Amino acid sequence: QVKLVEAGGGSVQAGGSLRLSCVASGNRKSNRCMGWFRQAPGKERENVARIDGIKTTVYHTSVKGRFTISRDDANNTMYLQMNSLKPEDTAMYYCAEVYQTAYCTGGALSDFFYWGQGTQVTVSS
Contact by Cβ (8 Å): 116, 22: yes
Contact by Cβ (8 Å): 30, 76: yes
pLDDT tens-place values along the chain, 125 residues long:
899 999 999 999 999 999 999 999 998 888 999 999 999 999 999 999 999 999 999 999 999 999 999 999 999 999 999 999 999 999 999 999 999 888 999 999 999 999 999 999 999 99
Say if residue 57 is exposed, middle or buried (CB neighbours under 10 Å; 0-12, 13-18, 19+). middle
Q: How far apart are CA 79 and CA 14, in angstroms?
A: 20
Nearest to 50 by CA among 37, 38, 63: 37
Nearest to 117 by CA among 42, 48, 39, 58: 39
